[in-house]
């Protein structure tokens, strides 16, 4: 594999995590080692977790199955996010992974759960062959500047709003 790039999937539209799982699935099809680190998620209820296990994608969650209050994050949420970043820093330099996804890390930075400067340092020091993917709304402009590829998912229309639909098993989770 050529030198690992930095990718960012951001925006208010649906599909950022789904896109990252799609990339992970493609990589596993080519026998690449994939690590998927989820910030602010702690539920076993997501269908993609079972698919990832079946494909040999390692998924670790650093969060609780509750929403984080952006105005007043619980110290538990801050601690879990910091633990996730510490783990990510160690794994990003290890050379063990072809692709590392940091799912919802953009939101964790935006909510102040983890430090922007520490995160940028981790990106700058990552193993040269490791592709790093950041997902989540609110990607910081400095993370966008460091990235080689940035995709913004933009909501045009969503049935949550137009039809008052609940999240559906197998589609949203």
CA dist 117 and 140 (Å) reads 11
pLDDT score, position 61: 97
Confidence of residue 45 (pLDDT cuts 50, 70, 90): confident
Confidence of residue 2 (pLDDT cuts 50, 70, 90): low
Confidence of residue 38 (pLDDT cuts 50, 70, 90): very high
- pLDDT at 1 exceeding the cut of 60: no
- pLDDT at 100 exceeding the cut of 80: yes
Degrees, nearest 5: CA angle 21-32-91: 80
CA dist 68 and 79 (Å) reads 12
pLDDT score, position 159: 80
pTM of the predicted model, to two decimals?
Answer: 0.92
Task: For residue 74, give every residue at least 6 positions away whose Cβ sits within 8 Å of its Cβ, in sequence order, or none.
Answer: 68
Give the tens place of pLDDT for each residue, 101-120. Answer: 999 999 999 999 999 999 99
CA dist 173 and 171 (Å) reads 6
What DSSP designation does 7 have? E
pLDDT score, position 14: 92
Mean pLDDT of 140-150: 98
The residue ranges of every structural domain in the chain are: 6-162
First to last CA, the chain: 31
> Which CATH code is given to the segment(s) 6-162?
3.40.50.300
What's the alpha-carbon Rg for the chain, to the nearest Å?
16
Contact of 62 with 84, CB cutoff 8 Å: yes
Closest by Cα among 94, 73, 103 to 9: 103
72 token code pair: 């007043």
Can you count the helices (H) and strands (E) in the chain? Answer: 7, 6
Confidence of residue 163 (pLDDT cuts 50, 70, 90): confident
Flag the least confident range among 2-11, 75-84, 160-169: 160-169
């Amino acid at each position: 594999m050529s030198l690992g790039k930095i990718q960012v999937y951001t925006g208010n539209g649906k599909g950022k995590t789904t896109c990252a799982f799609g990339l992970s699935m493609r990589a596993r099809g080519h026998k690449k080692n994939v690590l998927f680190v989820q910030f602010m998620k702690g539920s076993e209820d997501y269908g993609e977790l079972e698919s990832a296990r079946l494909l040999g994608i390692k998924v670790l969650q650093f969060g609780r199955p509750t929403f984080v209050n952006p105005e007043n994050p619980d110290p538990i949420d801050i601690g879990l996010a910091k633990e996730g970043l510490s783990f990510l820093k160690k794994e990003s330099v290890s050379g063990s992974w072809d692709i590392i996804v940091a799912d919802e890390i953009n939101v964790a930075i935006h909510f102040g759960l983890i430090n922007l400067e520490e995160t940028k340092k981790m990106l700058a020091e990552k193993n040269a062959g490791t592709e790093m993917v950041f997902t989540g709304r609110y990607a910081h402009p400095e993370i966008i500047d460091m990235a080689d590829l940035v995709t913004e998912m933009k909501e045009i229309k969503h049935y949550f709003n137009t039809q008052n639909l609940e999240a559906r098993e197998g589609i949203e989770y």
